[in-house]
């Protein structure tokens, strides 16, 4: 319903158009969405270093249903019950599963269920270190995934990339290893076969990648931008063409699609694919597992029923040779199935006709007669035309549909701008104020500024919950087990008790154990972090850790001294910022402190120090895996486990001031 925080890429105000075109929902549905935290927790083998089970977090008043269940076991349960997406879903190719079903003369769903029940087929999350189940090719576009975004950076270096790392953590002892997830005695090292980065900055992700494709910046391409910080949508337009070998991301992906399609005509052709889709938010799936009672079909507590007690099994026919053609045109599903955002569906028939005239149509091939989106400016035009926030007709149409669902009057919220349509040309002229739309929960009608939930509060639109009211009591079985049915204070994890104190360095220098936090950076430009001349000149010229004067005095550290910080996850070498603004016992290393600039070799490891995420790792909270029940159901970029790292501790020491790079 529109949460009061920023999510992912800020706030995509023209949400409907972007969502349906970005994920190919105009041609085929559904798409494979994945929760990033479990994906990388498994792929980087951080799950092999857990030191406590799920019941260590349970309430003493709980029923004991989580006794002996480890965190990897909880994740595997969430996958097979359809709570969270889990891809790859199975330990066999989904294309092959469809072929097997056809040869057996049964439906794909019946074949998959039968194979799961017999044990001949397993969920990939139950054996993440099987070579058939781990990622082989990774393409990163405009994100510093390997460093700034990767909690547990050093584990990624070891297990995903197979390069030097500074991990000293011990693997999970035998008594705490998972019961339902296969433990392979030798952990894989270097899972990826190919890593490709698309960027205009030489980040750590680029440095560790096999291929770097130089990308255009904002001033070398057509694009759209919006944010929760202001009520406008505005355009990026090229001042110059991308220099030398650089290309726009749009051009790069279309070029790859064309070559892939050429090869696919020989090697893949037309195949059927089965998608294991999670039970979804804002759909009848919210009633699939009533009362929040956990029943595991694998344990015989119920039957495996797709879409009820396990993921939905949806078959999609894919013409792999036509991918490039489909990318360059708007598909027919928008005409026949409409667009759906947060449970509300409308059909943009007039908009499709408008785009035929505005963008032109494709001639010949699978997309014959469809509106063209072969150029980036055409794609931007389509996003704006298909979204209620930028097309008043669709905003009013969406509110009419919402009125039928809720029984409350809402269409007047968009009436004043029902005839407005913001075009890409408009946004290139000046930023344009968006239109109040059911895509979001606030109102900007009459010139008021956006505030979340005003439509719920003032117009009595039901909240997206089981009862339609705000919920402070959550009756899911796992919430009761953890003692969190009501809002409850939970202290930080006792990391020292669970993982032990990092081993002291052998030279006997004074050391200090502190809480280690990585707040959102204030010494950076949001789009370029802090490794640019402007920000480096304004401050210390490289990575720093902030600490209190009292803590610094205990280990003989002065402002701007070189220090080292280490724990079981890795080691950092940087300068100290000593300030009274910091409380005793806590240090800050602002996030996005990459490891490639002004980072010396460390005394502890003998190799170059890491970045802010070298001292962190992913910690999954089991209650974040809950799904299949009411508002707990999965929603892309809204519901799912976060990569908690705020409870980490580290050891700080003053190092020799003569450093080697």
Residue 522 has pLDDT above 80, yes or no: no
The token duo for 411 is: 């269409």
Which structural domains are found in the chain, ordered by start?
495-654 (2.40.40.20)
- Residue 3, pLDDT score: 53
* Distance (Å, whole) CA 523 – CA 526: 9
**CA 101-105-106 angle, 5° bins:** 60
Give the DSSP per-residue string, 237-263.
--SSPPPTT-B-HHHHHHHHHHHHHHH
- CA 439/CA 444 separation, integer angstroms: 13
In eight-state DSSP terms, residue 157 is I
Q: Give mean pLDDT, residues 214-240.
A: 92
- Could you please report the per-residue DSSP string of 337-395? T-EEETTEEE--HHHHHHHHHHH-B--SSTTTTSBB--SHHHHHHHHHHT-TTTBHHHH
More confident residue, 1 or 578: 578
Query: Residue 655 is encoded by which pair of tokens?
Result: 């190092």
Main-chain dihedrals φ then ψ at residue 336, nearest 5 degrees: -90, -35
Within its chain, how far is the Cα of 99 from the centroid?
31
What was the pLDDT predicted at 10?
Answer: 60
Please provide residue 72's backbone torsions phi and psi, each rounded to the nearest 5 degrees.
-60, -35
Q: Please say whether the beta carbons of 613 and 46 come within 8 A.
A: no
Provide mean pLDDT across the span 5-20.
Answer: 78
pLDDT, tens digit (0-9, with 9 covering 90-100), for 303-354? 999 999 999 999 999 999 999 999 999 999 999 999 999 999 999 999 999 9
Average pLDDT value for the chain: 94
Q: For the sheet containing 232-236, what is the strand order?
A: 223-226, 232-236, 432-433
| Percentage of the residues of the chain whose pLDDT score is greater than 70 | 98
pLDDT of res. 6: 54
Best CA proximity match to 81, nearest among 342, 284, 282, 293: 293
Residue with tokens 């598909």: 331
Which one has a higher pLDDT value, 508 or 39? Answer: 39
User: What pLDDT shows up at residue 644?
Assistant: 85
What average pLDDT does the segment 131-140 reach?
97
Q: What is the structure's pLDDT at 566?
A: 96
Residue 633 pLDDT level (bands cut at 50, 70, 90): very high
CB distance 270 to 236 below 8 Å: no
pTM of the model: 0.96
Q: Report pLDDT for 433.
A: 96
Asked if the model's pLDDT at residue 5 lies above 70, the reply is: no
Nearest to 164 by CA among 607, 627, 632: 607
Residue 526 pLDDT greater than 80, yes or no: no
Least confident of 32-36, 220-224, 462-466, 531-535: 531-535
DSSP structural state of residue 578 = E
Q: Is residue 99 predicted with pLDDT exceeding 50?
A: yes
User: Which tens digit of pLDDT belongs to each residue from 434-471?
Assistant: 999 999 998 999 999 888 889 999 999 999 999 999 99
Ordered strands of the 211-214 beta sheet: 137-141, 194-199, 211-214
What is the pLDDT confidence band of residue 4, given thresholds at 50, 70 and 90?
Answer: low
Residue 507 has pLDDT above 90, yes or no: no
d(CA 565, CA 588): 11
Question: How does pLDDT run across 557-571, given as a tens digit for each residue?
Answer: 999 999 999 999 999
Taking the C-alpha atoms of residue 572 and residue 563, their distance in angstroms, rounded to an integer, is 8
């Amino acid at each position: 319903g529109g949460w009061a925080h920023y999510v992912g890429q800020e706030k995509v105000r023209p949400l409907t158009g972007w969502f349906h075109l970005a994920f190919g929902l105009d041609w085929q549905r559904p798409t494979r969405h994945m929760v990033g935290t479990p994906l990388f927790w498994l792929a980087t083998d951080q799950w092999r270093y857990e030191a406590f089970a799920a019941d260590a977090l349970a309430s003493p008043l709980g029923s004991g249903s989580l006794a002996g269940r480890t965190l990897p076991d909880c994740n595997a349960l969430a996958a097979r019950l359809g709570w969270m997406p889990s891809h790859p879903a199975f330990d066999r190719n989904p294309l092959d599963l469809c072929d097997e079903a056809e040869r057996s003369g049964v439906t794909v769903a019946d074949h998959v269920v039968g194979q799961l029940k017999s044990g001949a087929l397993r969920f990939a999350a139950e054996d993440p270190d099987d070579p058939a189940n781990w990622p082989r090719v990774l393409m990163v576009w405009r994100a510093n995934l390997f460093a700034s975004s990767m909690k547990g950076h050093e584990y990624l270096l070891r297990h995903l990339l197979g390069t030097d790392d500074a991990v000293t953590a011990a693997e999970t002892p035998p008594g705490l290893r998972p019961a339902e997830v296969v433990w392979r005695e030798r952990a894989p090292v270097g899972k990826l076969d190919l890593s490709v980065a698309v960027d205009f900055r030489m980040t750590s992700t680029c440095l560790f990648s096999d291929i770097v494709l130089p990308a255009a910046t904002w001033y070398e391409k057509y694009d759209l931008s919006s944010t929760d910080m202001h009520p406008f949508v505005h355009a990026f337009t090229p001042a110059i063409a991308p220099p030398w070998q650089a290309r726009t991301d749009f051009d790069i992906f279309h070029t790859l699609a064309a070559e892939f399609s050429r090869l696919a005509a020989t090697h893949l052709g037309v195949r059927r694919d089965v998608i294991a889709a999670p039970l979804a938010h804002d759909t009848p799936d919210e009633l699939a597992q009533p009362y929040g009672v956990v029943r595991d079909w694998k344990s015989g507590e119920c039957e495996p029923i797709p879409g009820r007690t396990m993921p939905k099994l949806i078959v999609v026919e894919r013409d792999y040779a036509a991918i490039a053609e489909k990318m360059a045109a708007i598909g027919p599903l928008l005409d026949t199935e409409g667009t759906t955002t947060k449970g509300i569906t409308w059909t943009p028939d007039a908009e499709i006709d408008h785009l035929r005239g505005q963008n032109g149509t494709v001639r010949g091939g699978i997309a014959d007669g469809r509106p063209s989106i072969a150029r980036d400016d055409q794609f931007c035009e389509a996003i704006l035309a298909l979204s209620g926030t930028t097309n008043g007709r669709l905003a009013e149409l969406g509110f009419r549909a919402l009125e039928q669902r809720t029984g409350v009057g809402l269409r007047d919220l968009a009436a004043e701008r029902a005839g407005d349509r913001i075009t890409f040309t408009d946004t290139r002229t000046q930023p344009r104020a968006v239109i109040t739309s059911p895509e979001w929960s606030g109102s900007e009608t009459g010139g008021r500024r956006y505030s979340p939930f005003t439509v719920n509060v003032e117009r009595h639109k039901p909240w997206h919950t089981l009862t339609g009211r705000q919920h402070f009591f959550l009756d899911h079985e796992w919430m009761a087990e953890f003692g969190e049915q009501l809002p409850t204070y939970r202290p930080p994890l006792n990391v020292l008790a669970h993982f032990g104190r990092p081993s002291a360095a052998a030279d006997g220098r004074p050391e200090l154990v502190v809480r280690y936090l990585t707040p959102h950076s204030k010494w950076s430009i949001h789009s370029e972090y802090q490794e640019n001349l402007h920000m480096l000149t304004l401050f210390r010229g490289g990575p720093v850790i902030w600490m209190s004067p009292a803590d610094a005095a205990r280990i003989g550290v002065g402002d701007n001294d070189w220090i080292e910080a280490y724990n079981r996850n890795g080691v950092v070498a940087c300068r100290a910022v000593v300030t009274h603004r910091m409380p005793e016992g806590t240090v800050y290393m602002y996030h996005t402190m990459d490891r490639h600039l002004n980072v010396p070799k460390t005394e502890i490891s003998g190799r170059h120090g890491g970045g802010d995420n070298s001292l962190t790792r992913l910690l999954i909270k089991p209650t974040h895996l809950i799904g299949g029940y009411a508002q707990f159901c999965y929603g892309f970029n809204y519901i799912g486990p976060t990569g908690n790292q705020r409870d980490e501790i580290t050891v700080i020491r003053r190092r020799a001031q003569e450093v080697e790079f």
